[in-house]
Amino acid sequence: MTTCPSCGHQNIEGVDSCESCSESLTDLHLHEPATDVERSLLDDRISVLEPKSPITVSSNTPVHDVVVMLAERGIGSVLIVDEGKLVGIFSERDALLKLNTEANELGEKPISEFMTADPETLAANAKVAFAVQRMDLGGFRHVPIMAESGKLDGVISVRDILSYLTERSNG
């Protein structure tokens, strides 16, 4: 049997494309996974990383309150959500670059002025390898994960991916 790398369907040996999702299977011989880590990255979907429930604030929250929240909870980012809709993300890197030595003076301004608006998201059923690539490309450390329903499902961090890799490479 040949396992489709895209949807996981078990195909008859020798077919050119997956019977379930039509993905081409002709170049599969090029990337037969060589290690457990490779196989996991290829097969697993983001949902196995168990995205954490996001910490959210509304866009008019004063930036100082958000900074205090990040520091007290020991987290690296918050999502900005207005009326159930994701509108931005604010990370400790944003705090360092945008507030810097003026954190005190700028403290009462709303988080909307400092957040990264319309952040890139990933679908919960996307492959882990895909998440790795997108996070590398965009330089993201946190990515909001959307459920199939289009609702915010959680957040995954680079650290979640590292823990996942550690478990796989020791396994």
Partner 1 sequence: MSFELKLDTETIGQAFTDPPLSVSPDTSIREVFCLLKQHNRGNILVCDGEVLVGIFTERDALRIMAQDANLEQPISSVMTKNPVVLFQEATVSKAISMMARGGYRRIPVVDSAGVPLGVVKVSGILHYLVEHFPKVIYNLPPEPHHSTEQREGA
Does position 48 interact with partner 1 (CB under 8 A)? The reply is: no
- The tokens describing 102, both together, are 């003026």
Does position 7 interact with partner 1 (CB under 8 A)? The reply is: yes
DSSP structure class, residue 14: T
Output the smallest distance, CB 87 to partner 1, in A.
Answer: 22
Which of 10, 48, 58, 68 touches partner 1 by CB under 8 A? 68
Does position 26 interact with partner 1 (CB under 8 A)? The reply is: no
- CA 44, 136, 162, 30 dihedral sign is positive
Does position 55 interact with partner 1 (CB under 8 A)? The reply is: no
Based on CB atoms, which residue is closest to partner 1, 20 or 82?
20
Does position 139 interact with partner 1 (CB under 8 A)? The reply is: yes
Q: Which amino acid is at 116?
A: T
d(CA 95, CA 22): 45
β-partners of residue 88 are 80, 117
Which residues, including other chains, have CB under 8 Å from residue 3's CB and lie 6 or more apart? 9, 10, 11, 43
d(CA 74, CA 36): 32
- Which residue ranges make up the site for partner 1 (CB under 8 A)? 4-7, 19-23, 27, 30-31, 34-35, 37-38, 41-42, 64, 67-68, 70-72, 74, 76, 92-93, 95-97, 99-101, 103-104, 122-123, 125-127, 129-130, 132-133, 135-137, 139, 141, 158-159, 161-163, 165-166, 169-170
